[in-house]
């Protein structure tokens, strides 16, 4: 399918990228399943390619949301990582990545995870670069863009609340009550 390049921005299709790799024994952990870190490294690679295609600039990884490994990946599986730009800010882009693992003998396909990588575009001299706008051509594109914007606002809200919590932390009755039913034992000295 041909993907047009727009003067003012790029469509989601313009930078969509799929990376496929066979899971070899060297990628396995002591339990015989594929290391989570191997999958994260592949996700980082596909996120880099997808973001850099959209930005037409070098991109670095800033943060990763939603890494939940829903099913183990086996040695011999063919893993495909499908990446799309979901959202663009000023210098940042959110790349959504869906990971599936196929057993090539049985043709069974399982969805192992969907994660969101925030990347920042840098130009020469390592200064942040403004990325082109994203052209949303479908309801799905709009849903993903809105969801990423919501996650961005929630992250900023959570981050501010947690900073306040850290600064204001005291051991008082409220803190003790908060921990009362947790599986911890408080043994403060003095
Ligand atoms: C990412 C980096 C460029 C941010 O620099 P900064 O001067 O603090 O820039 P800002 O605070 O303006 O953030 C730049 C963008 O990143 C976003 N951002 C910053 N921190 C973020 C985080 N933790 N999660 C999500 N987005 C984040 C900002 O919202 C902003 O987006 P926008 O331009 O679309 O509005 C800088 O911290 C950096 O270079 N980090 C190292 C990245 C790297 O090398 N990664 C490779 C792995 S080691």
**Do the domain assignments include residue 58?**
yes
Do the domain assignments include residue 1? no
190 found inside a domain = no
> In terms of residue numbers, what domain contains 86?
10-137
Answer whether 64 contacts ligand 1 (Cβ < 6 A). no
Q: Is the CB of 90 under 6 A from ligand 1?
A: yes
- Ligand 1, atom nearest to 130 Cα: 33
Rounded CA-CA distance 113/148 in Å is 17
User: Does residue 106 fall inside a structural domain?
Assistant: yes
Kindly state the tokens that stand for 89: 């800010």
Residues near 136 by Cβ (< 8 Å), separated by ≥ 6?
A: 12, 142, 145
What is residue 124's predicted lDDT score, i.e. its pLDDT? Answer: 84
Give percent of the chain above pLDDT 70: 96
Please check whether residue 82 lies inside any domain of the structure: yes
User: Would you state the pLDDT for residue 190?
Assistant: 74
Determine the pLDDT at residue 125.
Answer: 79
pLDDT per position as a tens digit, 100-114: 999 999 999 999 999
Structural domain includes residue 154: no
Can you tell me which atom of ligand 1 is nearest the CA of 93? 34
Is residue 155 domain-resident? no
What is the rounded average pLDDT of the residues 24-36? 96
Question: Ligand 1: does its nearest atom lie under 6 Å from the Cβ of 158?
Answer: no
What is the Å distance from ligand 1's center to 26 Cα? 33
Number of domains within the chain:
1
Distance CA 17, CA 13 (A): 9
Q: Is 24 in the pocket of ligand 1 (CB under 6 A)?
A: no
CB-based contacts of 19, cutoff 8 Å, min separation 6: 42, 45, 46, 49, 80, 81, 83
* Cα 63 to ligand 1 centroid, rounded to whole Å: 8
pLDDT at 16 over 80: yes
- Residue 2 pLDDT greater than 80, yes or no: no
Band (pLDDT 50/70/90 cuts) for residue 1 is very low
pLDDT at 4 over 90: no
Asked whether 46 lines ligand 1 (CB < 6 A), one says no
Give the CATH number, domain containing residue 126. Answer: 3.10.129.10
Which of 2-11, 73-82, 102-111, 180-189 is predicted with the least confidence, judged by mean pLDDT?
A: 2-11
Question: Does some domain include residue 171?
Answer: no
């Amino acid at each position: 399918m041909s993907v047009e390049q727009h003067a003012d921005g790029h469509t989601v299709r313009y930078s969509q990228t799929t990376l496929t790799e066979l899971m070899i024994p060297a990628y396995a952990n002591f339990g015989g399943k594929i290391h989570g870190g191997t999958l994260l490294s592949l996700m980082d690679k596909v996120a880099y390619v997808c973001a850099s295609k959209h930005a037409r600039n070098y991109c670095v990884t800033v943060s990763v949301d939603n890494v939940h490994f829903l099913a183990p990946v086996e040695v011999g599986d063919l893993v495909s990582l499908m990446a799309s730009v979901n959202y663009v800010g000023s210098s940042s882009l959110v790349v959504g990545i869906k990971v599936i693992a196929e057993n090539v003998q049985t043709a069974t396909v399982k969805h192992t995870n969907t994660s969101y990588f925030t990347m920042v575009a840098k130009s020469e001299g390592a200064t942040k670069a403004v990325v082109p706008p994203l052209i949303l051509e479908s309801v799905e594109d709009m849903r993903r863009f809105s969801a990423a914007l919501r996650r961005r606002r929630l992250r900023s809200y959570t981050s501010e609340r947690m900073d306040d919590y850290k600064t204001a932390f005291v051991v008082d009755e409220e803190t003790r009550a908060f921990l009362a039913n947790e599986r911890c034992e408080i043994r403060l000295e003095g």
